[in-house]
Structure 1
Amino acid sequence: MEKRVIKNTTLEVAPINFGGNVFGWTLDEAQSFGILDAFAAQGFNFIDTADTYAWWVNGKGGQSETIIGNWLKAKGQRDKFVIATKVGSQTKEHPNDVSKKHILKSVDESLARLQTDYIDLYYTHFDDEVTPIEETMSAYEQIVKAGKVRYIAASNVSPSRLKESFAVAEQNGWAKYVALQPHYNLLEREKFETEYASLAQQYNLSVFPYWSLAAGFLTGKYRSQEDLAKSVRGGGVSKYLTPQGFAVLAALDQVAEKHQTQPATVALAWLLAQPLVTAPIVSATSQNQLKTLFDAPLLRLDAQDLALLDGASQTK
């Protein structure tokens, strides 16, 4: 499989980034191992998690990193995988926090759960918008110099704070963000395209969209209010049961039928066709769902396909 280089790094990743939020939530450890084994067997090597996954189950998180750490130990091939995790997100007990104290404490806890000496990509998960940028970036510089983290990245950081982060890092000769993880998919285009795309270009950032399938809506599984009960995640997609949401599903169905594939595969292929996107983040909880992920990098959408999808998904 052709790998893609994360910009400004030596990291090479397959073009699908597995979202580890399902580990310890909708998948137990044994089920998670099965999914990860199948993912790795197909040549995929990029796994995304966070220190707080799945806090909504136990109030504090840590389950996903623990499961991935146990799997990495069992595999014994740490150097074959690119592991991304995050810091700063709130739980039931703590608010968002990117203070130096919290980062230095959290990175050691993540390393312990992941059973590794280093994290390949370490994200600001949610900016607290209070901590001085200098404090946050100096903490990252410290853990990069210590070898605990290879590269840093940003997720939910405002455009202004993102620009300030680069200015501070440049002024001090510190580590800079190399990637951006935005909310971006066929139904969530406007914010990224109007506020962040130019910054990704300006700072030469790799882009790893989260919620690539709009919490599962773009699989076509949810087409009515009654369908929302099909999954514990169903409630999160009710906002997409709109004329535009149905128009996007119709376009996905048409392109999927043309290529004899699944709507989810088409939705991921659309992201992969976007010039700024390096690898969409997406989860799977079954072998059938994994196949839709595996097929996405193989699907080449033509100009007609892209025009149809773009027309249905553009903000009116």
Structure 2
Amino acid sequence: MATKVGGETGKHPVDTSKKHILEAVDKSLKHLQTDYIDLYYTHFDDEKTPVEETLEAYNEIIKAGKVRYIAASNISPERLEASFAASEKYNLPKYQALQPHYNLVEREGYESNYAALAENYELTVFPYWSLASGFLTGKYRSEEDLNKSVRGDSVKKYLDQKGLAVLKALDQVSNKHNTSQATVSLAWLMAQPHIGAPIASATSEKQLKTIFEAPKLTLDKEDLDALDQASK
């Protein structure tokens, strides 16, 4: 079981202070009706609380048995490295996992700024928005398609030369393996270094099956090369 602390811009104040974390974890335990949380994420970083203060809070709730491991989501590379340095210096808990924005049409941010950190600190990576708000399912291919769901505005930016090239490559690979574009997209993520599992949601049994098929699909070098070339 995993959940987050630190707030989300526009919904809750971003706060990674010790006081906030100690209060928030008890609320989460009550809300989730559980005795402990397996993986507790720093959702957003307020970038003003000293990283050692945040880690001290985690140390306290881990010792209390409320949390088993900690992870990071929207934290800058600099603050993430500072957190590992503080963990080492003060013998505090270390982040075990990373949840970045990463998929076939959003590669630059993670690969340029976080992939080396995942390698260096042996982080397990759980990418969010793995299907780019549904774009990588192949559902949206024109301006007219944007009206198919409330997510249309979110995927409009992908309807460019690169995005359409990715869809073309997904079509080719999915036809080759007699599967869906979404399954191929998730399988591509799972083939990347340090990926534990992509995060994807389902609103129907059909979509759930698409997710379940991804771990069973092994993409060969030809598949990976085609997807890499289209998405870079």
Give the TM-score category using the shorter length.
Answer: over 0.9
2:207 is aligned with 1:293: no
Q: Could you tell me which residue of structure 2 aligns to residue 117 of structure 1?
A: 35
Contact 1:97–1:127 (8 Å) recurs in 2: yes
Does the C-alpha gap of structure 1 residues 91 and 159 become closer, same or farther in structure 2, counting only changes over 3 Å?
closer
d(CA) in 1 for partners of 2:6, 2:18: 10
Contact 2:8–2:43 (8 Å) recurs in 1: no
Does the C-alpha gap of structure 1 residues 93 and 126 become closer, same or farther in structure 2, counting only changes over 3 Å?
closer
d(CA) in 1 for partners of 2:209, 2:217: 12
Question: Which residue, out of 67, 85, 88, partners 2:3?
Answer: 85
Amino acid at match of 1:128: D
Question: Which residue, out of 143, 146, 149, partners 1:225?
Answer: 143
2:217 is aligned with 1:305: no
RMSD over equivalenced CA pairs, Å: 1.0
SS of equivalent residue, structure 1 residue 279: coil
Q: Which runs of 5+ in 1 are unaligned?
A: 1-82
d(CA) in 2 for partners of 1:279, 1:187: 17
d(CA) in 2 for partners of 1:251, 1:273: 16
> Residues 69-84 of structure 1 correspond to what in structure 2 (within 5 A)?
83-84=1-2
d(CA) in 2 for partners of 1:141, 1:169: 10
Amino acid at match of 1:189: R
Question: Which residue, out of 140, 143, 154, partners 2:61?
Answer: 143
Does the C-alpha gap of structure 1 residues 134 and 294 become closer, same or farther in structure 2, counting only changes over 3 Å?
same
Question: Which residue, out of 87, 102, 106, partners 1:184?
Answer: 102
Question: Which residue, out of 94, 108, 113, partners 2:26?
Answer: 108
d(CA) in 1 for partners of 2:153, 2:210: 23
Question: Which residue, out of 159, 167, 181, partners 2:85?
Answer: 167
How far off is 1:302 after superposition?
0.6
Q: Could you tell me which residue of structure 2 aligns to residue 236 of structure 1?
A: 154
d(CA) in 2 for partners of 1:261, 1:179: 30
Contact 1:156–1:181 (8 Å) recurs in 2: yes
Q: Could you tell me which residue of structure 2 aligns to residue 195 of structure 1?
A: 113
Q: Which runs of 5+ in 2 are unaligned?
A: none
d(CA) in 2 for partners of 1:189, 1:148: 35
Does the C-alpha gap of structure 1 residues 191 and 91 become closer, same or farther in structure 2, counting only changes over 3 Å?
closer
Q: Deviations over 1:60-95 (max 9, x none)?
A: xxxxxxxxxxxxxxxxxxxxxxx1110112354632
Amino acid at match of 1:133: V
Amino acid at match of 2:201: S
Contact 1:87–1:123 (8 Å) recurs in 2: yes
How far off is 1:152 after superposition?
0.1
d(CA) in 1 for partners of 2:103, 2:122: 20
The range that moved more, 295-304 or 166-175, is 166-175
Percent identity between matched residues is 68
Q: Could you tell me which residue of structure 2 aligns to residue 32 of structure 1?
A: none
Does the C-alpha gap of structure 1 residues 307 and 93 become closer, same or farther in structure 2, counting only changes over 3 Å?
closer
Amino acid at match of 1:225: E
Contact 1:90–1:97 (8 Å) recurs in 2: no
d(CA) in 2 for partners of 1:203, 1:258: 37
Q: Deviations over 1:123-158 (max 9, x none)?
A: 000111111111111111111111100000000100
For normalisation by structure 2, the TM-score amounts to 0.98
Q: Could you tell me which residue of structure 2 aligns to residue 206 of structure 1?
A: 124
Amino acid at match of 2:156: S
2:48 is aligned with 1:130: yes
Amino acid at match of 1:276: H
d(CA) in 2 for partners of 1:115, 1:151: 18
SS of equivalent residue, structure 2 residue 35: coil
